Amino acid sequence: MVTALVENAISRTPDGGHIIAAVTGSGRKVRIDALDTGPGLTDIDPDRVFERFARGRPAEHEAARHSYGIGLPLVKDAALRYGGDVTVSRTGPQRTVLSLELPAA
């Protein structure tokens, strides 16, 4: 799940941009945030990024994406199966944060 979130952040970040992965714990939950400094989710509704086969247009810095729109939906399915969730915590013209929350072991 983390690999898919980080790969998504990498694909959305232009050259010279940054990716940050942060892990925090609170009580019985662990949260993993994948932050990118890309253009934000302007090409698809943030509520749709976890739907199977939903894809937006490639950002200007991206070549034609070789994506089938199943990576993030699989992350969502796995997170829910293990009692967690994944959401778009924040998106805007200079960054997007995807947050994965799972029960602590």
What was the pLDDT predicted at 58? 58
CB-count exposure of residue 15 (10 Å: 0-12, 13-18, 19+): exposed
Provide CB contacts within 8 A for 76, sequence distance 6+: 50, 85, 86
What was the pLDDT predicted at 99? 97
Weakest-pLDDT range from 19-23, 68-72, 87-91: 68-72
Among 91, 79, 80, CA closest to 45:
91
- Domain of residue 38: give its range: 2-103
DSSP secondary-structure letter at 3? H
Provide CB contacts within 8 A for 103, sequence distance 6+: 28, 29, 30, 82, 83, 84
The CATH number given to whatever domain includes residue 95 is 3.30.565.10
Tell me the per-residue pLDDT of 24-82, one tens digit each, with 9 for 90 and over: 999 999 999 999 998 888 777 888 889 988 766 655 555 555 566 788 999 999 999 99
Q: Structure pTM?
A: 0.84
Total domain count, the chain: 1
What was the pLDDT predicted at 35? 96
Question: Over pLDDT 90: what percentage of the chain?
Answer: 60
